[in-house]
């Protein structure tokens, strides 16, 4: 094996010059000739907002990485690109053959299906067989603490219940890469503690790679070895957790 092949085998994620823009239709107000009041046309102009400006980084297998930045910096967008939900306009993401799951509110559930049905659907989309899901579904349901609600449509769930179900699926059906978007801070105190302990268990597996988005500095400092700081769609700093978090905290205090 060459040095280049050896280095590649140690990587879980490689992002190269990733650009992504959102497109939105902005209504254009026009003035009615017979009235002094403005009216809004049905169609308007298309505006482009570039959320990610050429993002490049590498994450090694088994690394626990925190992703920080103020609201609107591109953190959640980047996680969805890594998960394959969003396709970048240009650039590339290489997961080096790894399986990946995204744990985020409002992602991956069909509202009219029950919690149980969504477990099967989500797990099959992650590449698990029905037999593998059957063997672990009781553990997933027990971890979620949803009780009889597991048979009810997800549209009847609160945000906390959605979070519990999503976390249970990700925690029990283990993928090579776990992407976590803010859900560690959702739910009651008991579930938060259980989720944190389960995340620590996942992290203890040195073959698993975890990327965590959180505004909780304590969580990032406690769990992560490396931090990526995003600012307005650009990488502002990458490095050891203490170093980056100290700089980020000073920036936020300005």
Query: What pLDDT does 185 receive?
Result: 60
Is 243 inside any structural domain? no
Is 42 inside any structural domain? no
Is 221 inside any structural domain? no
On the CB side of 4, how many CA atoms lie within 13 Å of its CA? 0
CA distance 254 to 247: 11
Q: What predicted TM-score, i.e. pTM, was given to this entire model?
A: 0.79
Question: Which stretches of 108-245 are assigned E, i.e. beta strand?
Answer: 177-181, 209-213, 226-231, 234-240
pLDDT (mean) for 163-177: 87
Is 166 inside any structural domain? yes
Query: What pLDDT does 203 receive?
Result: 76
Residue 6 has pLDDT above 50, yes or no: no
**What are the structure tokens assigned to 22, written together?**
């959102």
CA distance 62 to 112: 36
Q: Give me the domain span that covers residue 142.
A: 101-174
CA distance 209 to 226: 12
Question: Which stretches of the chain are assigned E, i.e. beta strand?
Answer: 11-31, 38-60, 64-68, 90-94, 100-104, 177-181, 209-213, 226-231, 234-240
Query: What pLDDT does 246 receive?
Result: 97
Query: What pLDDT does 23 receive?
Result: 77
pLDDT (mean) for 150-161: 92
Residue 162 has pLDDT above 50, yes or no: yes
Is 190 inside any structural domain? no
Structure confidence at residue 43 as a pLDDT band (50, 70, 90): low
CA distance 135 to 92: 36
pLDDT (mean) for 185-211: 79
Is the Cβ–Cβ distance between 151 and 178 less than 8 Å?
A: no
**Domains in the chain, number:** 1
pLDDT (mean) for 115-132: 92
CA distance 62 to 65: 10
| Mean pLDDT score across all residues of the chain | 86
For the beta carbon of residue 5, count every other beta carbon within 10 angstroms.
8
3-state secondary structure of 176: coil
Is 169 inside any structural domain? yes
Is 160 inside any structural domain? yes
Query: What pLDDT does 5 receive?
Result: 47
Is 105 inside any structural domain? yes
Query: What pLDDT does 35 receive?
Result: 55
Query: What pLDDT does 205 receive?
Result: 79
């Amino acid at each position: 094996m060459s040095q280049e092949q050896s280095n590649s085998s140690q990587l879980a994620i490689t992002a190269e010059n990733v650009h992504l823009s959102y497109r939105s239709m902005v209504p254009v107000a026009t003035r009615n000739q017979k009235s002094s009041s403005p009216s809004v046309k049905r169609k308007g102009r298309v505006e482009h907002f570039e959320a990610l400006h050429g993002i490049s980084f590498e994450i090694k297998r088994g690394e626990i990485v925190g992703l920080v930045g103020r609201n609107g910096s591109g953190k959640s967008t980047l996680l969805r690109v890594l998960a394959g939900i969003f396709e970048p306009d240009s650039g590339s993401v290489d997961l080096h053959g790894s399986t990946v799951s995204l744990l985020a509110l409002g992602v991956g559930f069909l509202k009219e299906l029950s919690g149980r049905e969504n477990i099967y659907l989500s797990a099959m989309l992650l590449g698990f067989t029905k037999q593998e899901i059957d063997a672990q579904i009781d553990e997933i349901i027990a971890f979620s603490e949803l009780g009889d609600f597991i048979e009810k449509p997800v549209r009847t769930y609160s945000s906390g219940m959605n979070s519990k179900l999503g976390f249970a699926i990700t925690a029990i059906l283990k993928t090579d890469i776990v992407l976590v978007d803010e859900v560690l801070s959702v739910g009651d105190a008991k579930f938060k503690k259980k989720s944190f302990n389960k995340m620590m268990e996942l992290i203890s597996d040195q073959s698993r790679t975890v990327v965590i988005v959180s505004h909780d500095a304590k969580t990032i400092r406690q769990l992560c070895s490396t931090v990526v700081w995003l600012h307005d769609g650009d990488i502002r700093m990458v490095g050891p957790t203490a170093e980056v978090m100290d700089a980020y905290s000073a920036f936020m205090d300005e």
